[in-house]
Amino acid sequence: MDARKLLSKVTPSRAGAGEMVAGAPPVVAAQPDDRRAGARPPKDEHNAVRFLIRGHVQNVGFRDFVVRRANRLGVRGWVRNRSDGTVEVLAAADGEVDALLEACRLGPNAARVEHVDVHPTQETLPRRGFRKTRQYEVVEDAAAQRYHRLGIDPAGEAFGPLHHAGLLDTHSPSSVDAARAFWREHMAVDIDPALHIAYENLTGAADPRVLPPTQYRTIQRLFNADKQVKRAYVDKGLYPYLVRTDRQPLNYLRRINGKYFDADNDVVGEHEVLPMLSSRCQRAIIKPSRSANGIRVNLLEFDTDGRAVIHGKPRTLADIERLYGGDFLVQQVIEQHSLMARVHPSSVNTLRMLTIRLGKDIHHLLTFARFGADGRVNDNAGTGGVCVGVEADGSFLPEGFDEHASVLARHPTTDVAFADLEPVPRYSEYVEFVRALHADLLNYDLVSWDIAVGKDGGPFFVEHNFAGAMWIYQLATRRPVFGELTDEVLAHVQHLRDVKAAA
């Protein structure tokens, strides 16, 4: 079926081009902010199709699934999460859009699609390619007007959860003015004050040094290497060569460009892969080499017959290749300390630690623990995990925080009270551990580290990251990201800008 036939099967809305699906709530920010768009077509033409996908479709890799499928089919457009729990796709109404629709009706393995609303529309589309874009919010008109007056962007990175959690319901005009004045002085920008308002409502204290997400992205790009260099550093298969510590998981198997290699870099034939793994381990972690946010991180087990099992289902090597593609890892399961396992034993729970290089010195900025939930293997906030701030002495804050901006005194799965947790053992060793690791990353001055607490109480490297949800970092730890270093960091930002302008 071609795109014209698909469009002929859908009755357009009477309100005309650009309207959402009939019955959908009014929207703010109907277009992505980062558009790279072509010319808008005549108003009487439908040049695109909007899919609104309902069900369990967020935090399951749905957007990445759509991007991969659309780019494979050659469909132009974008996909984004909506704050009401749905996923929205806008696709050019030509070529293989019908095949993309069928793919959206199925979704990735972890998704559960209940319904897909299809609506022909007229929109400005990207000239080429298909991409993820930012979440946008569905809000009632009165709230939308209030947010607009405050300069809050309903398409902002953290707006959805902060709005729903009630952390934007009240604000102090003087605190907002102070935050705006601070960032005008230091970065010559007019900020979105949403995170400052939420921070004050959460902690009871205003702090203009809180770093807004947009300004974090600017700083992160200035401090860190370009995308070409990043390709090597984000490949988890290269960690043993880039991160000089024995305190990291052993890679039993790596698939690189479709070929298999064992821990000694010897090539393994396809028929030998599963027998080799079953002889080395009864259980292991399997994950993509180059993805982040806990996507497709699973437990790989071997039953008594030596069959590979993922999510309780026996899998052949062909099944695994279909799930993970040409590049993935099978690695050792870290034996974690009882302190961390107590909170959620199914996941390897880690400390997210942030470091920065300023001149000759590497500073530790903040730490929070990440605990998985609902029996998942990974601990990412984006898959339901809980973040709990860690103090300078290794003790935990009494309340956790999740990606929905919920404040939690107890773990949602195990009911463990965070206030009852003992401090991280030998915590000062963890700070020195990440500072030493950072010294080897010459291309990166602002780095997040995922560090496990080993069974012996010592630090264990899991992975490094060069971006992050900075709004969660600051709300989970109840502190501005740069703290007492803020003025020094922002002075260095201005220096980097001057150097870049003079180049």
Nearest to 62 by CA among 87, 28, 42: 87
State the catalytic residue, choosing from 47, 81, 298, 380. Answer: 81
CA distances from 322 to 299, 315, 327, 329 (A): 16, 10, 11, 14
Cα separation, 182 vs 189, whole angstroms: 9
Dihedral angle over CA of 153, 159, 163, 168, nearest 10: -70
Amino acid code (one letter) for 368: F
HSE value, Cβ hemisphere, 13 Å, CA-based, for 89: 31
Amino acid code (one letter) for 342: R
Q: What token pair was written down for 397?
A: 């804050």
Yes or no: say if 126 and 34 are a contact pair by the CB < 8 Å rule: no
User: Annotated catalytic, 63?
Assistant: yes
Residues 341, 439, 248: CA angle, nearest 5 degrees? 30
Yes or no: say if 170 and 194 are a contact pair by the CB < 8 Å rule: no
Cα separation, 124 vs 122, whole angstroms: 7
Query: Phi/psi at 28 (nearest 5 deg)?
Result: -115, 140
Yes or no: say if 268 and 261 are a contact pair by the CB < 8 Å rule: yes
Cα separation, 117 vs 485, whole angstroms: 49
Alpha helices in 282-415 (DSSP H): 317-324, 338-343
State the catalytic residue, choosing from 47, 50, 59, 63. Answer: 63
Amino acid code (one letter) for 366: L
In this structure, the chain runs to a length of 503
Instruction: Please state, as a whole number, how many other Cβ atoms lie within 10 Å of the Cβ of residue 406.
Output: 14
Which sign does the torsion angle of CA 187, 189, 194, 200 carry?
positive
3-state secondary structure at position 275? helix
Alpha helices in 165-250 (DSSP H): 173-187, 194-203, 213-223, 227-233, 239-242
Q: Which 8-state DSSP code applies to residue 336?
A: B
Q: What token pair was written down for 478?
A: 């109840």
Q: Which 8-state DSSP code applies to residue 435?
A: H
* DSSP-assigned letters across all residues of 283-352: EEEEEESS--TTTT-EEEEE-TT--EEETTEEE-HHHHHHHHTT-EEEEPPP-B-HHHHHH-TTS--EEE
User: Annotated catalytic, 59?
Assistant: no
Q: Annotated active-site positions, please? A: 63, 81
